Amino acid sequence: MKILLSFLFLILSITGVLAASAEDTKDQATALADSGMDYRVVTYPCYFEGTVRDAGTGAAIKGACVTFVKEDKSKSWTATTSDSGRYRRELPEGRYTYIVTHSNYIMQSSSSPVEVKAPYTKRVRGAGGIVREITITSERSKVVDINMKARPTTVLLVTTSLLRRTAELDEAVSRYTEVVSRKDGLSARFIVLDSEDCRAAYGAWLSDPSSWEEIRGLLRSITDQTGPCYIILLGGPAVLPVPQMVTIGGSPWYLPADGWYIDFDENGVVDEGFAISRMADVASDSSAVAAALQSASDLHEAGGFGMIPEMLLSTRCWSAPPAGLGDACRDDAPTCWQCYATPPYGVCDECDRQAEMFDLMSRSDYIFIMGHGSPVTFATNDHIPIFNLVNVADVDLSGHPIISGWVSCNTGQLYSDRPSFATEFLRSGAAAFLARTTDQGTPAYFAEKFEPYLKGESPSGRYRLGDALNELMREVVLRKGDSERRITMQLCMYGDPTLKRVQLELPATGMMATATPFSRVS
């Protein structure tokens, strides 16, 4: 009897050690994940697996990123599908939502959590009264197969009768419609929301052009008939109002942003499958709108926009020595790694390289501006002017660069009665201007992923401008939760959301090809 008891005690001791070891593995995995280290060597007790396919053809989708987010938004795990569309992702037990992304397909996200449970032991009594332990594993894995719908091909050019119709505008709309069809297989439709043509085509029309809520309702009715699409608002606030106050969860928010137009279910995050942008002008004028449409047509003819060479204009350097100069540029350093220090660059009295800065901007495909901001100025952390609205005339934007100002506060706001960066950059030829409309900050995940999405450096391929912006806006909230709604919904785009970067670019002499700028400076 003593031998039997000793044997049973030994078995229970070993079982306890194994259980502790499994728990240690989970704790180790969590600690490594929290530290930011590479934790792929850790074997988690659970996993999801499945196949991602094209909903229309049934074909396997290679390069889709399948991300599982813990229900409390604390952590996430991502797998990329193989040539056969299959994925497998090991992770700790728990309840998860999932997000699936690919540049050629509409983002898919789960409406309810899925759950996996770690293996556990169960004591059972067998013949002769012998107690043994067995491992239960039936819930440690789950198959999650996903079907993705192809990106939309409809582009809605939306305005109201308040926009001044000119021969120049009509010609620009006509050319844009023809070019995007021939070059990209997109179908562009010009819609005056408060016209009889709109009523005849879609069974509804706009009675109050000053009501953005009514405009959103009408857009929802139209998109119910056309399916997900790209929406380009033609005109400034005097033609199509920018939403100012919204109510989310019973609380009023001041957050001027066009993204509210495609938040059809009013939950504070843009809906799946849509992308929205604006081509703005002052009051009811349409010359900047026509110029923006012509620039977009030129880029579609050319096969897309470039991002090399690029100019990163800032007072801070994000690259550590020896490549860069550390957190802040030295006073005597005219350049630091891939960014240009201000001063001497900038438009202040002490900035003695204005002409050189304007020349660099004129030769750049991608211009990234950091620092403090407003709709009419960029400045350093010390409020030294970097670039003002009047300086748009000093730069040649006929090469149609992408201009990013989404680090600086308020640079995306529009005026009803006077120019802003958003109107004058596009009037002068810029392909697009990306900005934010408040001082809420910029989501770190967006800053990390936006440029790789455009450049095709993610496993999912090259994204169109609007897909990258609006999908990342949605993904940030799905990954991080309600706290990120304010800083994502303020992000906005002026220009054509259907534009895509040209596939091949050669680095220009003396200019670096890639960068990952980010700052929360306001």
Q: How far apart are CA 64 and CA 229, in angstroms?
A: 21
What is the Cα 517 distance to its own chain's centre?
A: 15
Determine contact, residues 161/207, Cβ cutoff 8 Å. no
Using CA atoms, how far residue 169 sits from 112, 236, 294, 388, 417, in Å, is: 46, 15, 9, 28, 20
Output Rg (C-alpha) for the chain, integer angstroms. Answer: 27
**Residue 194 token pair:** 């408060």
* Phi and psi, residue 240, nearest 5°: -135, 110
**Cis, bond preceding 375 (omega within 30 deg of 0):** no
Q: What is the pLDDT along the chain (522 residues), one digit of tens a residue?
A: 444 444 444 444 434 433 433 433 443 444 334 434 333 345 688 999 999 999 999 999 999 999 999 999 999 999 999 999 999 999 999 999 999 999 999 999 998 999 999 887 777 777 777 777 777 777 899 999 999 999 999 999 999 999 999 999 999 999 999 999 999 999 999 999 999 999 999 999 999 999 999 999 999 999 999 999 999 999 999 999 999 988 877 888 899 999 999 999 988 899 999 999 999 999 999 999 999 999 999 999 999 999 999 888 875 554 444 433 344 455 565 555 556 777 788 999 888 889 999 999 999 999 999 888 999 999 987 888 999 999 999 999 999 999 999 989 999 999 999 999 999 999 999 999 999 999 988 999 999 999 999 999 988 899 999 999 999 999 999 999 888 998 999 999 999 999 999 977 765 544 433 333 323 233
SS3 at position 502: coil
User: Which segments of 58-166 does DSSP mark as H helices, in order?
Assistant: none
Which positions ≥6 away from 431 have C-beta within 8 Å? 295, 296, 299, 305, 400, 401, 402, 495, 496, 499
SS3 at position 361: helix
What is the Cα 96 distance to its own chain's centre?
A: 22
What is the Cα 368 distance to its own chain's centre?
A: 16
- How many helices and strands, by DSSP H and E, does the chain display? 10, 27
Paired with 124 in beta bridges are 132
pTM: 0.85
SS3 at position 363: coil
Q: What is the pLDDT of residue 1?
A: 46
SS3 at position 140: coil
Complete DSSP assignment for 200-225: HHHS---S-TT-HHHHHHHHHHHHHH
Percent of residues in the chain assigned helix, strand, coil, to nearest 5: 30, 25, 45
Q: What is the pLDDT of residue 280?
A: 98
